[in-house]
Amino acid sequence: MKMSWSKRQKLAGYLFIAPNMIGIVIFFLIPAIISFVVMFTDLDFLSKAPVNFVWFDNFVRVFGDETFYTALKNTFIFLLAVPVSIAIAVILAILLNNKIYFKPVLRAMYFMPYITSSVAIAFVWSLLLQPSTGPINGFLRSIGISDPPRWLASTETSMYGIDIIMVWYTLGFNMIIYLAALQEIPTDLLEAARIDGARSWQTVRRIILPLISPTTFFLLITGLMGAIKTFGLIQAITQGGPGDSTVVLSLFVYRTAFSYYELGYASAIAWVLFMIVLVITAIQWFGQKKWVYSN
């Protein structure tokens, strides 16, 4: 029986999305279901004892674990990099959107860190932030700061050093997205503002920022979600040290599961992390109605 044109189109669509959907089912949906079941057990790869259902004991342990609260605090400090990166990206995008020299070269330079290996980033920034011989502290000493921060070598400043690296890493991506948004702003609006005598900062505040607010919302929500689950960058740079000063929740889950082999407890932490992401996303989703421009 010959298929109609509409059915052939529908079948072709299903075939195109099938590889992605299969990947989602195999690598996301099934592991999530298994994790949901495992979090109620005492599964431990190092123990030969039979697996038992402990129900909510793992969650009681999570909220009584000091390392969890340290990782939670570090995670929120890490999230500060997202709005800082977005703010700097807006400024750079507005500057690069104007007629300046070497615009394509500058765009490529800012975007390069985003496509660089996290291992290479870790190696370079470990050298840059080296307390005694690093060029950053060398510059700070040259301008009169006799006791510069120890950055990644100190428990007090290591998380802020990670924030600096994260801002540098995500800045190019945010800037490129903003540049695309700026291209969509009608030029007649900007021209009308100029004719009416609006200053540059007034044009930015009253016209440009409101019109690109949907892009800001997109970058904020995806940036926060991405930062919360960031693992490779921190693991490559500090492995959570010194001490637990750079352990974030995603790294805490990894350590618990693959260093201590406590799969039940790690699954419980992972679901707590999921709930935190869900709450932050919901707050942003409902809050965006007050500040995101819509046609």
pLDDT at 1 over 60: no
Is 155 within 8 Å of 242 (Cβ atoms)? yes
pLDDT at 294 over 80: no
Top-confidence residue, 289 or 13: 13
Q: Which domains does the chain have, with CATH numbers?
A: 65-290 (1.10.3720.10)
pLDDT band at residue 2 under the 50/70/90 scheme: low
Determine what percent of the chain is predicted with pLDDT higher than 70.
98
Taking only the tens place, the pLDDT of each residue in 21-39 is 999 999 999 999 999 999 9
Strand ranges (DSSP E) for the chain? none
Taking only the tens place, the pLDDT of each residue in 127-147 is 999 998 899 999 999 999 888
From the list 52, 64, 97, the residue with the least C-alpha distance to 215 is: 97
Taking only the tens place, the pLDDT of each residue in 176-205 is 999 989 988 888 888 888 888 888 888 888
Is 145 within 8 Å of 154 (Cβ atoms)? no
Six-digit token string for 87: 């703010």
Taking only the tens place, the pLDDT of each residue in 249-272 is 999 999 999 988 999 999 999 999
CA distance 247 to 75: 8
Q: For the packed helices 135-142 and 118-128, what is the interaxial angle rounded to 10 degrees?
A: 30
What SS3 class is residue 41?
Answer: strand
Q: What is the pTM of this model?
A: 0.89
Mean pLDDT rounded to a whole number for the chain: 89
Q: Show Cβ contacts of residue 97 under 8 Å, excluding neighbours closer than 6 positions.
A: 179, 182, 183
